[in-house]
Amino acid sequence: MNETQMITLPEKRLREWCTHVLKTCCGVADDYAFTVTDALVSANLRGVDTHGVNLINPHIRRFKTIKHGEIRVTNDMPAVCHIDGGAHMGPVVSVYAVDKTMEKAGKCGIGMAIVENSCHFGATGYYTCYAARKGYVGFATTVAYKTIAPWGGLETYIGNNPFSVSFPWKEFPIMLDISNSVTARNKIINYAREGWPLPDTWATDEDGIPTTDAQKALKGLLQPIAGYKGVGIATMIEILVGTLAHGQYGIGIKPNVEPDGPQNVSHMFIAIKPDCFMSRDEIEKTLEKFVGGFRAVKRMKNVDALLLPGELEHNREQERRKTGIPLTRTLVEELNKFAAEFGAQALWEKA
């Protein structure tokens, strides 16, 4: 891998800059800018740098090409609803939807929302953690741009369709956030930007041959997790969410690298009120027993600790809040150039 220069910025600086750029370039309200900023910077804090501030460029470019509608509920029942995102930025649409699911779960025990006419929403786990921090079990998934072929195929047809589930806990939300490919397409894009070689297990070229060349990988296929099983999970998510969103499947989604016009992304969110089943005290005692046993399992050599899902990201968030968020110099210079194009201030200037 080529030697890469890193620039470390305080969380506060990254948040201030994202908010400034969103308001300067798009003229959005404070709460709109806050939601998008929080989704992006939270990803960087947790080490999910594929879905952090690198996405602000396509978010803004697409926003400026669209005539937006109102984010609205188009079909409403006590426990479920259907939402039209008005082609707004994915984080804003998605937080609106999760709020609706929690409102319904507070009354019915469970709430579900299908969203259509949205845009890329960033890290899926952001939304389940958002629900978990408010005391709800959260589930989220989305249909993504086509990057995976049907098992044995050579043409992309389905997205890697990430999903996340999160359970509220006193220390931090226990949270799984994975896509159905070995790595995210945004990570391939990041590697292409930096000129880094890929592991040969991440993607193939157009002929289905594993490749370490990021540029060839962007024209080829992402490798699914667990072979045909990953393809099967991704396909079922696409059928479930895309169909209920009036056919907004991966084949009709515009990728982030083509930020022009509506992106046509669909999502699904579910919130569950856990104390419908037992008291919160009993839940905590039950979970505490499980976690204690989990962490006490005999470890392999050179393993310091057994981590719960989401614990690594939680630990990294605490660390980066103190030490700052590292970004590659190439990305920072790209963001500076983007900001200058729209008359916004630079993210970082050399002393």
The tens digit of pLDDT for each residue in 81-136 reads: 999 999 999 999 999 999 999 999 999 999 999 999 999 999 999 999 999 999 99
The tens digit of pLDDT for each residue in 311-346 reads: 999 999 999 999 999 999 999 999 999 999 999 999
CATH hierarchy code of domain 1-64+324-351: 1.10.1530.10
Tokens 């920072």: give the residue. Answer: 332
CB 13 within 8 Å of CB 37: no
Residue 196 has pLDDT above 80, yes or no: yes
Whole-model pTM: value is: 0.96
Residue 288 has pLDDT above 90, yes or no: yes
CB 39 within 8 Å of CB 121: yes
Q: What are phi and psi of 301, to 5 degrees?
A: -60, 145
Angle, helices 11-26 vs 30-45, to 10°: value is 140
- Res. 351 pLDDT band, cuts 50 70 90: low
Residue 2 has pLDDT above 90, yes or no: no
The tens digit of pLDDT for each residue in 244-280 reads: 999 999 999 999 889 999 999 999 999 999 999 999 9
- Res. 350 pLDDT band, cuts 50 70 90: confident
Q: Kindly report the average pLDDT of the chain as a whole number.
A: 96
